[in-house]
Structure 1
Amino acid sequence: MKRFFNRALGRLAVLAAGLATMAAAHAATPPEIRVDYAYYSPESLVIKRYGWLEDEFKPDHAQIKWVLSLGSNRALEYLNSGAIDIGSTAGLAAVLGKANGNPIRTVYIFSRPEWTALVVRKDSPIKTLADLKGKKIAATKGTDPFLFTLRALHTVGLTRDDVELVNLQHPDGRTALANGQVDAWAGLDPHMAAAQIDDGDRLLYRNVDFNTYGFLNAREAFLQQYPETVARVLKVYEKARLWIVAHPDDAAKIVAEESKVSLPVAKLQLQRNDFSQPVPGAQQIAALKAAAPILVQEQLVKPGTDLPQVIDALVDSQVAQPVVTAAQGQ
Structure 2
Amino acid sequence: MTFLPFRPSSPSLIGLALAASLGLLASATALAQSSPATTVKLDYAYYNPLSLVLKEKGLLEQDLKRKNIKVEWVLSQGSNKALEFLNARSLDFGSTAGAAAFIGKANGNPIKAIYVFSKPEWTALVVPKDSKIQSVKQLKGRRVAANRGTDPYIFLLRSLYSNGINPRSVEIVQLSHADGKTALEKGDVDAWAGLDPLMARAELESKAKLFYRNTAFNSYGVLNVREDFARQNPDTVLTVLRSYEKARQWALKNPDGLKQVLIKESKLTDAVATRQLERTDLSSSTIGTPQKVVILAAADVLKKAGVVPADTDIQVVTNSLIDPSFVNRLRSGQ
Normalised by the size of structure 2, how large is the TM-score?
A: 0.88
Shift of 1:208: 0.2
| 1:243 matched residue in structure 2 | 250
User: Is 2:306 the partner of 1:316?
Assistant: no
Take 1:306 and 1:204, find their aligned partners in 2: how far apart are those partners? 34
CA change 1:39–1:324 in 2 (3 A) is farther
| 1:259 matched residue in structure 2 | 266
Shift of 1:90: 0.2
| 1:192 matched residue in structure 2 | 199
Q: Identity over the aligned pairs, expressed in percent? A: 47
Take 2:310 and 2:134, find their aligned partners in 1: how far apart are those partners? 36
Alignment of 1:120-135 (within 5 A): 120-135=127-142
| 2:162 matched residue in structure 1 | 155
Larger deviation: 318-327 or 178-187? 318-327
Shift of 1:61: 2.0
Contact 1:249–1:267 (CA under 8 A) maintained in structure 2? no
Residue identity matched to 1:47: L
Shift of 1:176: 0.7
Contact 2:125–2:193 (CA under 8 A) maintained in structure 1? yes
Deviations 1:67-91 (A, max 9, x none): 0000000000000110000000000
User: Is 2:167 the partner of 1:167?
Assistant: no
Deviations 1:6-46 (A, max 9, x none): xxxxxxxxxxxxxxxx9xx97x7511100000000000000
| 2:76 matched residue in structure 1 | 69
| 1:47 matched residue in structure 2 | 54
Take 2:36 and 2:265, find their aligned partners in 1: how far apart are those partners? 29
Contact 2:36–2:232 (CA under 8 A) maintained in structure 1? no
Contact 1:106–1:215 (CA under 8 A) maintained in structure 2? yes
Take 2:129 and 2:288, find their aligned partners in 1: how far apart are those partners? 39
Take 1:179 and 1:135, find their aligned partners in 2: how far apart are those partners? 15
| 2:222 matched residue in structure 1 | 215
Take 1:43 and 1:68, find their aligned partners in 2: how far apart are those partners? 13
Deviations 1:236-292 (A, max 9, x none): 001111111111111011111111111111111111111122111111112211221
Match of 1:100 among 97, 107, 117: 107
Paired positions, count:
304
Shift of 1:105: 0.2
Take 2:150 and 2:236, find their aligned partners in 1: how far apart are those partners? 28
Deviations 1:188-221 (A, max 9, x none): 0000011111111100100000000001000000
Residue identity matched to 2:255: P
| 2:312 matched residue in structure 1 | 305
Take 1:190 and 1:99, find their aligned partners in 2: how far apart are those partners? 28
Contact 1:238–1:324 (CA under 8 A) maintained in structure 2? no
SS in 2 for 1:65: strand
Match of 1:88 among 86, 91, 95: 95
Shift of 1:322: 2.7
Take 1:295 and 1:102, find their aligned partners in 2: how far apart are those partners? 16
CA change 1:84–1:274 in 2 (3 A) is same
SS in 2 for 1:124: coil
CA change 1:325–1:191 in 2 (3 A) is farther
Larger Rg: 2
Contact 2:112–2:323 (CA under 8 A) maintained in structure 1? yes
Take 1:324 and 1:261, find their aligned partners in 2: how far apart are those partners? 34
Contact 1:146–1:186 (CA under 8 A) maintained in structure 2? yes
Take 2:62 and 2:323, find their aligned partners in 1: how far apart are those partners? 26
Deviations 1:276-317 (A, max 9, x none): 221111111122112210011101111211011000010011
Take 1:319 and 1:156, find their aligned partners in 2: how far apart are those partners? 39
Residue identity matched to 2:141: G
